[in-house]
Structure 1
Amino acid sequence: MDAILIALQDFLGDSGSAGILFMALAAAAAFALSMGLSAFIMGLVDPVRRRLGQLGLGSGERLTAAATMAESLSNFAAIVTPRSDRERQRIERLLIHAGYRSPSARTLYYGVKALAVMIPPIAVLLASPLLPKITTNQLMLYAAGAGYLGWISCSMWLDRQVATRQRALRAGFPDALDLLVVCVESGLGLAPALARVADELAVSHPALGEELALVNAEMRAGVERGAALKNLSERTGLEDIRGMTALLVQTMRFGTSIADALRVYSEEFRDKRTQAAEEQAAKIGTKMIFPLVLFLFPSFFLVVIGPAVIGLIDVFTKLAQ
């Protein structure tokens, strides 16, 4: 405690009013953090709320841990939520692409992002007594840098989740397309075919199976088939699935055979995959230049020229003697 008081006195003495303002902001952030954590903990341990969630009473929906956490973090989420509708829609689209379709997903994301921005600077301020030689400007710089790292870490995590899910969807799409062609050509309609493919992919490709099952559920709930297929392309964000859904919508609009259209698209998609593989293979030669130059060539020159260099050194040593 004495060390903290001495550090605070030095801090206020060095920076004057700027230091007082900075410490006031830090104290306000710490107070807001403590209030938010208290509200979050009280929301988790509230027996009435937990009982209502178990019985399904109140709002008529089961209260999940994510919804409770989002409700507790709503005040923090308001701090970093962008005012632009375009930016909010972009984040919502990324969350959907990552597989987070809950209504509270955006609030939970921004709440965690706000905590990630506030907690590291507070930790830096609390750890300042351990570094007595650090100056006020350096402390403010470190705190700002910690907050910035917390900000970009959340964005990087979301981008990584989107890339991981899209990679999983892309890996299962060829199998789903082939199974869909087989099911439609065997006489099944579009909705039963999607349901059968979703069941078959539930184990090998669960992400894509879930998306196809959701399309089938929307159709059975009364959503138009074209709208349900467009929702699939918007949820996944993949160009391949967008092309298939556009083809199916056009086929249903003009009344042509779905089986023939899927067969043609399957053949074109197979050719596209072959061309993509050939493109990747053609890039290998260029990509191998850097590891060859950095790792293989130095060791090769060392083995080939090393003995000659050692012999020359011995000869010049004898001549010098």
Structure 2
Amino acid sequence: MDYLIGLLNSILHNQQAAEWAFVSLMGAAVFCMGLAGIFLVSNIFSPVRSRLQTVVGSESTDDAKKTGALVVLMGKVAPYVLPKKEGERGRISERLMHAGFRGDTALTTFYALKTLLIFGLPMVVLLALKWVSALTSAETLQAVAAAVLVGVVAPNYVLGKLIKRRKRLLYNGFPDALDLLVVCTEAGFGLKPAIQRVADEISVGHPELAQEFALVNAEMRAGVDRSEALHNLSDRTGLEEIAGLVTLLSQSLRFGTSIADSLRIYSEEFRDKRMQKAEEEAGKISTKLIFPLVFCMFPAFFVVAIGPAVVGLLDHFQVY
């Protein structure tokens, strides 16, 4: 490892060696991309594949028309861009589901975009830096490496932001949905009608949570067990509060206790939890205000309060 680091430093400090390294890397990248493109095109447009589609007949044609050309293309590209490890695919699929992407091609599309960014951003950087003559080959190589790093990190970063945004929207709508669910169950509604009524009522203010509740009700109508449908809701949202509600409802359905009483108790506990969280955030305000006070308000205050006295002293002693 030390030998490789020393070799890399010597290459970066040697202008001619850096140029040869840059040309070699670019040649290898172009060669690999050419091979990958030829391999993909030969598999996608293979005559054997075309004959099989002809033999299968109208069923595959109808499916292609329904799903669209993009979905078919993603299905053909999937074996080449998806990771081989099942655990990695499951983890990314779960993150995509928490972000709201539950389509069949969501995982393939994510990795296809990631692959496109990894190979496309360096090409864009090279084309952009071609017109900048002041840069050396070493600096260009560093810019290309930075572009590759951005292509690797950016999709995961954007996905994390989308997950946080969707969880925040679901969390903001959960108290209203919980109160409505308590009112509906105490009014005599069953679990399925209560969930459907809550989904209809909050569809305007909180469409994301309403969609999740409507999906739970649709699964129940389709014959899915109520406990399984509720656990699917917990898996799709990834919120701790909804997971607690699902556990409570599952236990109530299992042991035959009153759903209305259980929901009322959980609603009171949730309000207490929200109040404790608000008090915790309020207690952190004094600590968070230290840095704005020290770096923004105190300098201005000292300039206004002590500035005239300092100017008077300097004038009195004729420093300037």
Normalised by the size of structure 1, how large is the TM-score? 0.83
Unaligned 5+ residue runs, structure 2?
Answer: 1-14, 46-58
Whether contact under 8 Å (1:98, 1:165) holds in the other structure is yes
Whether contact under 8 Å (1:195, 1:213) holds in the other structure is yes
**Which residue of 1 is the match for residue 316 of structure 2?**
315
Distance 1:32 1:167 in 2: 44
Alignment of 1:96-245 (within 5 A): 96-245=97-246
Distance 2:70 2:316 in 1: 77
Change (3 A) 1:148 1:282: same
Distance 2:308 2:16 in 1: 67
Whether contact under 8 Å (1:36, 1:73) holds in the other structure is no
Whether contact under 8 Å (1:29, 1:118) holds in the other structure is no
Q: SS of 2:310's equivalent?
A: helix
User: Which of 26, 31, 37 is 1:28 aligned to?
Assistant: 31
Query: Which deviates more from structure 2 when the two are superposed, residues 271-280 or residues 206-215?
Result: 271-280
Deviation for aligned residue 1:30? 5.6
Query: Which deviates more from structure 2 when the two are superposed, residues 119-128 or residues 102-111?
Result: 119-128
Q: Deviations over 1:166-225 (max 9, x none)?
A: 000000000000000111111111011101111111111000000000000111111110
Distance 1:188 1:213 in 2: 16
Instruction: Tell me how large the CA RMSD over aligned residues is.
Output: 3.0
Letter in 2 for 1:141: Q
Deviation for aligned residue 1:153? 1.1
**Which residue of 2 is the match for residue 85 of structure 1?**
86
Deviation for aligned residue 1:279? 0.9
Change (3 A) 1:61 1:131: closer
Q: Percent identity among equivalent residues?
A: 46
Letter in 1 for 2:202: L
Unaligned 5+ residue runs, structure 1?
Answer: 1-11, 43-54
Query: Which deviates more from structure 2 when the two are superposed, residues 213-222 or residues 139-148?
Result: 139-148
Whether contact under 8 Å (2:196, 2:214) holds in the other structure is yes
Q: Which runs of 4+ in 1 moved over 6 A?
A: 32-39
1:246 corresponds to 2:247: yes
Change (3 A) 1:201 1:265: same
Letter in 2 for 1:240: E
Q: Deviations over 1:90-112 (max 9, x none)?
A: 11000000000001000000000
Whether contact under 8 Å (2:22, 2:141) holds in the other structure is no
Q: SS of 1:82's equivalent?
A: coil
Letter in 1 for 2:186: E
Q: SS of 1:212's equivalent?
A: helix
Distance 1:107 1:133 in 2: 40
**Which residue of 1 is the match for residue 10 of structure 2?**
none
**Which residue of 1 is the match for residue 262 of structure 2?**
261
Whether contact under 8 Å (1:69, 1:108) holds in the other structure is no
Whether contact under 8 Å (2:19, 2:138) holds in the other structure is no
1:59 corresponds to 2:63: yes
Q: SS of 1:62's equivalent?
A: helix
**Which residue of 1 is the match for residue 74 of structure 2?**
70
Q: SS of 1:70's equivalent?
A: helix
Whether contact under 8 Å (1:99, 1:165) holds in the other structure is yes
Letter in 1 for 2:27: A
Query: Which deviates more from structure 2 when the two are superposed, residues 276-285 or residues 61-70?
Result: 61-70
Letter in 1 for 2:113: V
Q: SS of 2:135's equivalent?
A: coil
Instruction: Report the count of equivalent residues.
Output: 293
